[in-house]
Structure 1
Amino acid sequence: MNSNQLYPEATREMAEKKAGLAPEITDAFRYFSKTVFKEGALPEKTKQLIAVAVAHVTQCLYCIRSHTKQAMKKGASKQEIMEAIWVAAEMRAGGAYAHAAIALDEMEGNKASI
């Protein structure tokens, strides 16, 4: 990692090091991931667009890069990818707004349990 990078680059070497520390779990995760993203009731392109949106909500830089690349390989347009990102932004903002009810409840002295 150079001094200008915030996160290390995702390399094959890094992946192999991580896998070597927990190979059985890594194999299970890779199988799970391949299974999730296979064509099913949802087309692969749609699954990758969902992943792009979720990656923006979880703020996983590696996932954003990987799933954006995969979405494009599966035929997603730049416009479709950007719309998926806007859906993620709306859902994140909507969640914050909806949870304002908890703060309001607290400010009003209610003792609701969470």
Structure 2
Amino acid sequence: MKSNQLYPETTKEIYDKRVALAPEMAEAFHNFGKAVFKVGALSEKTKQLIAVAVAHVTQCPYCISSHTKLALRKGASKEEIMEAIWVASEMRAGAAYAHAALAIDEMESIKP
């Protein structure tokens, strides 16, 4: 890993090591991914836009990079990708705001 990088680059060598350490699970995961992203009720483009949004919520830099590229390849515009990211941002912020109900409930349960 380069000293100025936070995460190692994805390489075939790293991929091969992951597969070698758990080949059955790697194959199952690969097949699962193929099934999830094939055309169904949703188009491949829509699925990739969802993946871009979720990748931002889970904060996976590898997923952000790969699914952004795949979304573009499946026909998504830069504007669609950015809008998907804004939807993810609102959902993440909204969840924090909604969970304030838990803190309020605790505060209300404590009697001075």
Fold equivalence (TM over 0.5): yes
Q: Say how many residue pairs are matched.
A: 110
Q: Which residue of 1 aligns with 2:74?
A: 74
Query: What TM-score do the two structures reach when normalised by structure 2?
Result: 0.97
Report the Cα offset of residue 7 of structure 1.
0.3
**Structure 1 vs Structure 2 CA RMSD:** 0.7
Report the residue type matching 2:95 in the other structure. G
Q: Which residue of 2 aligns with 1:85?
A: 85
Structure 2 unaligned regions, length at least 5:
none
Where has structure 1 moved over 6 Å in runs of 4 or more? none
CA distance in 1, matches of 2:41, 2:21: 35
CA distance in 1, matches of 2:69, 2:13: 20
Q: Which residue of 2 aligns with 1:18?
A: 18
Q: Which residue of 1 aligns with 2:44?
A: 44
Report the residue type matching 1:38 in the other structure. K
Structure 2 SS opposite 1:79: helix
Report the residue type matching 1:50 in the other structure. I
Q: Alignment identity in percent?
A: 73
Query: What TM-score do the two structures reach when normalised by structure 1?
Result: 0.95
